[in-house]
Every structure is written in C-alpha cells, then in structure tokens.
Amino acid sequence: MTVDRRTLLGAGMAAAVTAIIAGRAFSAPKRAYAFTLSDAEWRKRLSPLAYAVLREEATERAFTSPLNKEHRAGTFLCAGCALPLFSSATKFASGTGWPSFWRPLPRAVDTSTDYKIGVPRTAVSCHRCGGHLGHVFDDGPPPTGQRYCMNGAALTFVAKG
C-alpha cells in the first residue's frame, strides 16, 4: 500500500486537531480561590507585566528579571497575593533565564496541564489566587529532579531577618 503526501498530511492534521481538542477536554475546571479580585482590581494592584503573567498566562522575556540575581536568604512570594511560594534554599542557577527552584513550599502551588504550545506542559499557579507562575519540568537537580521555572514578574522577594 502506498501512502501519498495528501493522505499523510491529512492524517497529521487530524492527529494535531485531536490532540488539541483532547487537551481542552481534559483541562481542569477553574476553581474558586481564597483570594480573588475583579479584573479592574488586579490591573490596579499589578504592574502591566505582572498582570500579563499572573492573570493572562504570559511569559516574561528570559534573563530580564532582577530575581535571577537574588541570592540572599529569604522567601519568594506570589506578586498577586503575597502567599509564600518558595524558599531561597531551593533556588538554583538553571541557566534558563528565569528564577528556578527544585521544590515549592507545602501547599503553595497547584499544577495543571497546559497545551498552549501544542504539547503538554505542567503549568504552575498560586494556590491562593490562581495566578500563573510558570511551569515545572523534570530536568532539575537532586533531591527532587524538578525545575520550577518561574516568571520573576509573578514573584516578590522578602529577605530573611
């Protein structure tokens, strides 16, 4: 049996559409969060970049966050609701251009599957306000092997002491 180019392209398109639809079908429904604001209140509270990242799931440009160079002891908080998310003790230099951590604080983040670039990724959001923080990948250092690759615009930092 010979497969012509048109049949092969049609099968590929059908598979891609099916994957996108399946991704949407299996997306977790939005849940109610303990900290909520109206869209106008979020816009007033956040910088334009923080709003785009936290509320619209944008990604800041790599190597632009001052938090990449933050090496003091302390805690990284959600820029939307100030929930403590990551200890500085879990931050590491991933070389990716975004603040990276190998573990969040307990009950600080939620994860869901996102298909925005056509392939499944694990999106990370704030447990209290639902703000988009970034993604988690399985290429981090021990002990977890995970890399929580976070948008610096979604975080603030409070130094210890």
DSSP calls for 86-126: EEGGGEE--SSSS-EES-PPTT-EEEEEE-TTSS-EEEEEE
Q: Which of 81, 126, 129, 149 is catalytic?
A: 149
Element (H, E) at 134: strand 132-137
Q: Is the dihedral of CA 7, 8, 12, 15 positive or negative?
A: positive
- Annotated catalytic residue 149: yes
Catalytic residues: 149
